[in-house]
C-alpha cells in the first residue's frame, strides 16, 4: 500500500519557488493498478519519484507498506527500496552490458550468489519473453524489447510495488498494448501493486483499476476508472476522457441543426452494464411523439463492464421532449443536456 499524506514538493529556482505538488492526499491499496494522469507540468513525475525518494518531499509524508522511508536508517532504507521496483520512459539500460547483466545488476549489487542470480534472471527473461536475447546488448533490441528488459530488472528483487514513469509513451500503439498486457500479468500473477503515471488516457482505460487526475500539483478528481470515465466532474478529466472516447459533435453537425426550424435539443446518454443492450431509443420512438436522431454513438468496455455513449437529438414539442427526459431518468442510464434549443 502507498499513502500520500499532505505531500508538497517545492523546487527552488534561484529566487523563485516552483510548487510541483500541492498538499496531495492519495491512497493506493495493495494489489491495485493505480493511474495518475495529467498534462505536462502537472507534477506527475515529482509524485512518483517521491515514493522511492528519488525526490525528497518538502512537506507531508509518503508511506510504502506502512513504512515512512524518511524515518528509516540507511540500512533499513536500502532494504525498503529493494521492495520498490521502477521502470522508466527511456528504459535506463546499461548499453555496455548484456540483457542478462542488465537484469542481474540489482542482484549483483546485493552480492547474491551467482547461481541464485542466474536462476532468477533466467526466470524473469522467460517471464517477459526474452530468454533468447540474454546475450544481446540494448542497441540490438527494439523499444518494446528494451522496456521488457527494464521490467525484468525492476522485478529482480521481488518487489511488492512497481512504479511506472511514463513507461509506454516512447512506444508505438501495438508495442504499448503488449507492455500493458505484461503489466497486467505481473499484477495478477505476483500481486504487485502498480502505480502508473501517464498523459495518455488510453493507458488508464486499458489497465488501471483506479485513477487520479493531477492538475497544477493538485489531485482534482479521483475514483474508479469506470466512474471517472462515466461521470467526469472536472474540465481536465472531461478533456482526457474525450481524448479516447472521441465524442465531440463536429461543428458542421451543429450548423445543420441550427439551420432547422423545429425545436430540438441535444442530450448525451450514458449506458452502463446490462443497460447497453436495452432498446431504449426504440421504446422512446414508440411511446412518444418525438423524432430521435443519433448524432454519435460508441460502446466500449471499462473494467470488463460495457459502457455506451450516445449523443442524441430530440425533435418535437418541448412538453413531449420533457416527458421523454422524465422517462429516460427512470431507466438505468445517465442523461445530460449538451445544447439547449439550437433551432
Separation CA 20–CA 217 (nearest Å): 5
Contacts with 243 (C-beta within 8 Å, 6 or more apart), sequence order: 201, 202
Q: What is the pTM of this model?
A: 0.84
pLDDT tens per residue, range 223-248: 998 888 878 889 999 888 888 776 66
155 or 308: which leads in pLDDT: 155
Asked if residues 232 and 247 have their Cβ atoms less than 8 Å apart, the reply is no
Q: What is the grid cell recorded at 43?
A: 507534477
Asked if residues 153 and 184 have their Cβ atoms less than 8 Å apart, the reply is no
Indicate the pairing of strand 2-13 with strand 291-302: unpaired
| Helices and strands: H and E segment counts in the chain | 12, 14
Summarize the confidence of residues 189-215 as an average pLDDT.
93
Separation CA 166–CA 330 (nearest Å): 42
Q: What is the grid cell recorded at 315?
A: 425533435
Domains of the chain, each with CATH number or no CATH: 2-244 (3.40.50.300), 251-339 (3.30.70.260)
Strands of 59-64's sheet in order across: 16-28, 2-13, 59-64, 67-68
pLDDT tens per residue, range 4-45: 999 999 998 777 888 999 999 999 999 999 999 999 889 999
Which one, of 284, 286, 312, lies nearest residue 298 by Cα?
A: 312
Asked if residues 343 and 267 have their Cβ atoms less than 8 Å apart, the reply is no
pLDDT tens per residue, range 109-163: 999 999 999 999 999 999 999 999 999 999 999 999 999 999 999 999 999 999 9
pLDDT tens per residue, range 74-90: 888 888 888 999 999 88
Please count the CA atoms within 13 angstroms of the CA of 90 that sit on its side-chain side. 2
> DSSP string covering 21-46, please?
EEEEEEEE-TT-EEEEE--TTSSHHH
**Quick one: pLDDT band at residue 276, thresholds 50, 70, 90?**
low
Indicate the pairing of strand 193-198 with strand 33-37: parallel
Summarize the confidence of residues 173-183 as an average pLDDT.
92
At 270 the three-state DSSP class reads strand
Asked if residues 234 and 218 have their Cβ atoms less than 8 Å apart, the reply is no
Summarize the confidence of residues 184-197 as an average pLDDT.
94
Contacts with 326 (C-beta within 8 Å, 6 or more apart), sequence order: none
Separation CA 145–CA 156 (nearest Å): 17
Amino acid at each position: 500500500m502507498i499513502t500520500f499524506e499532505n505531500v508538497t514538493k517545492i523546487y527552488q529556482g534561484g529566487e523563485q519557488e516552483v510548487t510541483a505538488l500541492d498538499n496531495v492526499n492519495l491512497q493506493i491499496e495493495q494489489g491495485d493498478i493505480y493511474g495518475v494522469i495529467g498534462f505536462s507540468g502537472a507534477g506527475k513525475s515529482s509524485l512518483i519519484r517521491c515514493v522511492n525518494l528519488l525526490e525528497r518531499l518538502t512537506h507531508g509524508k509518503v508511506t510504502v507498506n506502512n513504512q515512512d522511508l524518511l524515518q528509516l536508517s540507511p540500512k533499513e532504507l536500502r532494504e525498503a527500496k529493494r521492495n520498490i521496483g521502477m521502470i522508466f520512459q527511456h528504459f535506463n539500460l546499461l548499453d555496455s552490458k548484456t540483457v542478462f547483466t542488465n537484469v542481474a545488476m540489482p542482484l549483483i549489487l546485493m552480492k547474491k550468489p551467482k547461481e541464485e542470480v542466474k536462476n532468477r534472471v533466467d526466470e524473469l527473461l522467460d517471464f517477459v519473453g526474452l530468454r533468447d536475447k540474454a546475450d544481446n546488448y540494448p542497441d540490438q533490441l527494439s523499444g518494446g524489447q528494451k522496456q521488457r528488459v527494464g521490467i525484468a530488472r525492476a522485478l529482480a528483487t521481488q518487489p511488492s510495488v512497481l512504479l511506472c514513469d511514463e513507461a509506454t509513451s516512447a512506444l508505438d500503439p501495438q508495442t504499448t498494448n503488449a507492455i500493458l498486457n505484461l503489466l497486467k500479468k505481473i499484477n495478477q500473477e505476483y500481486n504487485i501493486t502498480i502505480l502508473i503515471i501517464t498523459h495518455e488516457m488510453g493507458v488508464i482505460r486499458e489497465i488501471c483499476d483506479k485513477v487520479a487526475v493531477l492538475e497544477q500539483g493538485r489531485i482534482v478528481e479521483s475514483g474508479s476508472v469506470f466512474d471517472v470515465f462515466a461521470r467526469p466532474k472536472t474540465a481536465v478529466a472531461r478533456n482526457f476522457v474525450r481524448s479516447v472516447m472521441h465524442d465531440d459533435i463536429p461543428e458542421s453537425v451543429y450548423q445543420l441543426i441550427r439551420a432547422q426550424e423545429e425545436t430540438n435539443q441535444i442530450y448525451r446518454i450514458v449506458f452502463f452494464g446490462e443497460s447497453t443492450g436495452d432498446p431504449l431509443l426504440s421504446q422512446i420512438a414508440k411511446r412518444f411523439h418525438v423524432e430521435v436522431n443519433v448524432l454519435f454513438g460508441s460502446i466500449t468496455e471499462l473494467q470488463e463492464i460495457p459502457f455506451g455513449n450516445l449523443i442524441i437529438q430530440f425533435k418535437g414539442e418541448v412538453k413531449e421532449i420533457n416527458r421523454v427526459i422524465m422517462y429516460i431518468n427512470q431507466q438505468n442510464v445517465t442523461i445530460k443536456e449538451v445544447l439547449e434549443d439550437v433551432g
